[in-house]
């Protein structure tokens, strides 16, 4: 299972082997209950779109604490940003998709910001793939990007779970300026907000260790306060899964909510970070380069392997088309 996952995730994560030899499964959703089981290539009625919205928000393969956290974070972000967000523009067969065998399923949710907003777009997704050797790969993501009207940081949250007792967590407000050249930026978003305390609090747990991506490009876009950790509860005990759920509920959840709150207050809805017209083109170029590179590393090579070339290419092409508008 681990070798297959390492080939799929490639350079982005490079997950360390799990210490347990047990084969885990994160749970399976019956195909007939999954919105993608319904033909989605032509219909675009409000009911169809609502079904796929529900499919995204169900997070059907997560534990209860993990599911509750993701639902609350997405709901908080969309409620707080409210009328600034436009409807999801993606085709229905991109919002909700699966491979031919039904062993890999995914949902993608994008909300662009309107013309008067500082929001470029928010993106949420989940991917679930049964592995040939047993167990499953479960990736859950929530990201928010700001546009060139502000230089405030973006928001990134990602869980990569290889079993119910092992996961990598990435939680960060990636900077959009060169921090050594702009110490006031560092103070405003990272020092004054005490963001580093979130990472420090989580790493006090014995099950939590720092995680280092083998891809230097990925590491260079994170902030110095990024919470990037490997949580492992594999001691060969029946209580290991319960301990992971406890960590997510009692430790990860409050930290993730705190970081999202900081982003909403100081970045998305904050004041005083307007960018001069002369600086906007460079900020826009930087944002586009990072987003494009992230898509190449995370999706272009991995989705076709996870879902097959037809489905994988369809999802990647739709995302790239959206980003290039």
pLDDT (tens digit per residue) in 169-210? 999 999 999 999 999 999 999 999 999 999 999 999 999 999
Residues of the chain with pLDDT under 50: 1-32, 37-43
Q: Residue 230: what pLDDT?
A: 96
Which pTM was predicted? Answer: 0.87
Kindly state the tokens that stand for 204: 């006090």
Strands 119-130 and 136-146: antiparallel
Q: Residue 13: what pLDDT?
A: 40
Domains along the chain with CATH numbers: 2-17+24-323 (3.40.1500.20)
Q: Residue 48: what pLDDT?
A: 58
- Give the pLDDT confidence of 54-84 residue by residue, as tens digits: 778 999 999 999 999 999 999 999 999 998 9
Q: What is the DSSP string of 194-240?
A: TTHHHHHHHTTSTTEEE---S-HHHHHTS-TT-EEEEEE--SS-TTH
Q: Residue 131: what pLDDT?
A: 84
Q: Residue 45: what pLDDT?
A: 58
Please calculate the CA angle 149-154-160 and round it to the nearest 5 degrees: 155
DSSP code, position 96 = E
Q: Residue 50: what pLDDT?
A: 60
CA 313 to chain centre: 20
């Amino acid at each position: 299972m681990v070798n297959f996952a390492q080939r799929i995730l490639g350079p982005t994560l490079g997950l360390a082997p799990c210490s347990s030899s047990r084969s885990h499964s994160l749970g399976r959703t019956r195909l007939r209950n999954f919105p993608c089981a319904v033909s989605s290539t032509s219909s675009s009625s409000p009911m169809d779109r609502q079904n796929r919205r529900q499919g995204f928000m169900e997070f059907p393969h997560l534990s209860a604490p993990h599911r509750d956290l993701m639902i609350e974070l997405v709901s908080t972000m969309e409620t707080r940003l409210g009328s600034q967000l436009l409807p999801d523009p993606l085709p229905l067969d991109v919002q909700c998709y699966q491979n031919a065998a039904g062993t890999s399923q995914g949902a993608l949710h994008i909300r662009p910001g309107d013309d008067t907003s500082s929001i470029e777009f928010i993106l949420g997704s989940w991917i679930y793939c049964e592995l040939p050797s047993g167990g499953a790969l479960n990736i859950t993501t929530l990201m928010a990007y700001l546009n060139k009207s502000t230089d405030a940081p973006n928001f990134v949250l990602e869980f990569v779970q290889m079993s119910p007792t092992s996961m990598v967590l990435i939680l960060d407000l990636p900077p959009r300026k060169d921090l050594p050249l702009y110490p006031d930026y560092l103070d405003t978003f990272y020092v004054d907000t005490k963001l580093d305390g979130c990472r420090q609090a989580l790493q006090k747990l014995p099950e939590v260790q720092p995680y280092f991506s083998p891809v230097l490009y990925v590491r260079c876009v994170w902030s110095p306060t990024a919470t990037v950790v490997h949580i492992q509860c594999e001691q060969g005990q029946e209580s290991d899964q319960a301990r992971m759920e406890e960590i997510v509920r009692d430790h990860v959840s409050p930290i993730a909510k705190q970081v999202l709150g900081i982003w909403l207050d100081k970045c998305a809805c904050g004041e005083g970070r307007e960018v001069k017209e002369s600086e906007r083109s460079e900020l826009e170029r930087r944002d586009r380069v990072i987003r494009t590179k992230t898509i190449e590393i995370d999706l272009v090579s991995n989705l076709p392997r996870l879902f097959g070339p037809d489905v994988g290419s369809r999802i990647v092409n739709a995302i790239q088309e959206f980003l290039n508008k």
